[in-house]
Chains A and B, each alone.
Chain A
Amino acid sequence: MTVFEYTIKDALGFHARPAGLFVKEMKRFSSEIAVCLGEKSVSGPRLIALMGLGIKCGDTIRVECSGSDEAEASAALKSFLEKNL
């Protein structure tokens, strides 16, 4: 499993637009991807569940990728977050 953490910098948090794009990015990979905030965790490209985590500016999320393309998935999602959130 490849894991990284990211602290949200966008003042508006993880709202619909970046969430939709993030889910689209997740779907490019076959690895199982989980997004965790504190005790809560969402697996897979599930838009509403991800938005339901209530991720806000300043929150640190943990992204866990496991599968054959986990390194690529992890790098792509980290880069997406740095550019968009």
Chain B
Amino acid sequence: MNIFSKLKGAKTPVIIKSPCRGSYIPMKDIPDEVFSQGILGPCCAIDPEDGRICAPCDGKIVQLADTLHAFCIDCDGVMVLVHLGIDTVGLKGEGFSVFVKENDKVKAGDAVIDMDLGTVRNAGMDPAVITVIANADELGEISFPGTEDCLIEVKRK
């Protein structure tokens, strides 16, 4: 990160949009303690209406799980992990199609992955799409407006 982006980013909160359409689920109600107890970081979920999962912010795809069920975007120093469904690592990629590769730059709203909701549900899994702030220790206050245009607001230290 260069000095200019540091200055630019210092005062403005980072807005994380919803990665998909659907209804909001607060962290404490996510049916998996690794998320509901914030073990991966502060988070919230969306019960998806459809399986098109988009970039929740402008940034770089720094990680894409081999099993295509999770990706991480670096949004100017805010590490956002988007996890598609609960325990979906076990599907080993089945039901997921991906539109990006690691190190791609994306804009908020760009399609990243399509998740086939039927495949996930037929496997007995919950397709909740969880958005996690994975480096909260390095950041300031994090709040959850919970709307499509402002799912999470992140302030810097």
Residues on A lying within 8 angstroms of B by beta carbon are 12-13, 15-17, 19-21, 23-24, 45-48, 51-52, 54, 56
Contacts and interface: CB of A to CB of B under 8 A. Distances in A.
A23 B83 CA distance: 17
Nearest first, the 3 closest Cβ-Cβ pairs linking A and B are A20-B40, A20-B39, A15-B89
A48 B63 contact: yes
A47 B89 contact: no
B70 interface: yes
A24 B72 contact: no
B79 interface: yes
B135 interface: yes
Contacts of A45: 137
A10 to B, nearest CB: 10
Nearest to A46: B135
A48 B41 CA distance: 11
Given A51-B72, A52-B62, A52-B63, A17 B34 contact: yes
B62 A12 contact: no
Interface string B128-142: 000000110100000
Contact of B81 (A12, A13, A16, A23): A16
Contacts, number: 47
B62 A16 contact: no
A75 B67 CA distance: 31
Nearest to A45: B137
A23 B136 CA distance: 13
A12 B90 contact: yes
A16 B79 contact: no
Contacts of B39: 20-21, 23-24
Contacts of B72: 48, 51
A47 B62 contact: no
A3 B133 CA distance: 30
A25 to B, nearest CB: 10
A19 B79 CA distance: 15
B63 A47 contact: no
Given A15-B65, A21-B39, A48 B81 contact: yes
A19 B39 CA distance: 9
